[in-house]
């Protein structure tokens, strides 16, 4: 059961929000069978975004990345399920949409690396860090989906 409660942090970036892609992206995670744990629509502060991307602070694109991410609201989410971190990344596609296969979110819905519409945690460790950065413990909702037995063996 423990593996089925793995959690990942997914965020629809300001371009995804502005382009009206929130419903399409949420639909993909929902229809896959993952369970929504938390969702928050917010204008993230520069401080939060700097912290979120702290591992990239020495990269040349870091200032532009923080500016892009703070240029409008984002939809922050936590999704749960078996291998959701790794499968979530597969659903997103590659960092550069040009390398992302059709059928993936970035492969289907965007073109440039600096406007790649969605974030997804890259490991269970970073998922846990990101979830606690963006959400308070009491904002994480536990419930058993009535579809659970129809999704898992």
**Are 119 and 10 within 8 A, CB to CB?**
yes
| Residue 96, helix vs strand vs coil | coil
Cα distance between residue 66 and residue 70, in whole Å: 6
**Per rule CB under 6 A, is residue 99 in the interface with ligand UDP?**
no
Cα distance between residue 140 and residue 7, in whole Å: 11
Q: Give me the catalytic one of 119, 127, 130, 135.
A: 119
* Residue 148 falls in the annotated catalytic set: no
- Of 43, 95, 123, 132, the residue at the interface with ligand UDP (CB under 6 A) is 95
Cα distance between residue 14 and residue 69, in whole Å: 6
Note the helical H segments in 1-123. 14-18, 22-32, 46-52, 62-69, 84-92, 105-109
Residues 3-62 that bind ligand UDP (CB under 6 A): 56, 61
The partner residues of 22 in beta bridges, in order of sequence, read: none
116 in a labelled binding site: yes
Compose the 108-137 pattern: x for residues touching Mg ion by CB under 5 A, - for all others: --------------x---------------
Q: Taking contact as CB under 6 A, which single stretch among the options 3-11, 33-41, 111-119, 131-139 is the one that binds ligand UDP?
A: 111-119
Binding site for Mg ion (CB under 5 A): 122
> Which residues sit in the known binding site for ATP?
13, 61, 89, 95, 106, 116
Binding site for ligand UDP (CB under 6 A): 56, 61, 65, 95, 113-114, 116, 119, 122
Catalytic annotation, residues: 119
């Amino acid at each position: 059961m423990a593996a089925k409660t793995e959690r990942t942090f997914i965020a629809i970036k300001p371009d995804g929000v502005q382009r009206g892609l929130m419903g399409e992206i949420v639909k993909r995670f929902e229809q896959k069978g993952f369970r929504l744990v938390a969702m928050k629509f917010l204008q993230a502060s520069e401080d939060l975004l700097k912290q979120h991307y702290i591992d990239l602070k020495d990269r040349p694109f870091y200032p532009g990345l923080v500016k892009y991410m703070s240029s409008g609201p984002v939809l922050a989410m936590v999704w749960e399920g078996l291998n959701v971190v790794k499968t979530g990344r597969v659903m997103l596609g590659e960092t550069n949409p040009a390398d992302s296969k059709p059928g993936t979110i970035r492969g289907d819905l965007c073109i440039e690396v600096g406007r790649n519409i969605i974030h997804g945690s890259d490991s269970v460790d970073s998922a846990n860090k990101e979830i606690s950065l963006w959400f308070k413990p009491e904002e994480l909702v536990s419930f058993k989906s009535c579809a659970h037995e129809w999704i898992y063996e």
